[in-house]
């Protein structure tokens, strides 16, 4: 179980690094094009949305891998 926590911390660090490196340009673009009003959409909400999307992806992959294992091993 400790390995899972370590893996999650690596994934979240990678996500955070990716967000930090890309959000500056994306944020300035969105503000310039008036698609994004920062006062209505705080940073913690954006972070929550990103984590929710990643959680859904991880759950989907987990379910797919379980069904693949079931297909191969028949348990």
pLDDT digits (tens, 9 = 90+) for 14-64: 776 666 666 666 666 666 665 555 555 566 676 777 788 888 888 887 777
* Per-residue model confidence (pLDDT) at position 8: 74
Output the CA torsion 19→21→23→28 (10° steps). 180
Distance of CA 11 to the CA centre of its chain: 9
Closest among 73, 54, 67 to 13, alpha carbons compared:
54
What pLDDT is stored for residue 71 in this prediction? 66
Question: What's the domain range around 22?
Answer: 2-73
pTM above 0.95, yes or no: no
pLDDT at position 64, please?
75
Mean pLDDT computed over 62-72 = 71
**DSSP letter, residue 34:** T
Domain count within the chain: 1
Question: How far apart (Å, rounded) are the C-alpha atoms in residues 38 and 13?
Answer: 24
Confidence band of 11 (pLDDT split at 50, 70, 90): confident
């Amino acid at each position: 179980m400790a390995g899972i926590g370590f893996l999650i911390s690596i994934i979240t660090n990678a996500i955070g690094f990716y967000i930090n490196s890309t959000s500056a340009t994306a944020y300035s673009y969105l503000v310039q094009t008036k698609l994004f009003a920062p006062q209505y959409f705080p940073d913690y909400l954006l972070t929550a949305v990103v984590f929710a999307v990643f959680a859904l992806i991880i759950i989907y992959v987990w379910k797919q891998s379980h069904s693949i294992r079931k297909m191969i091993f028949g348990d």
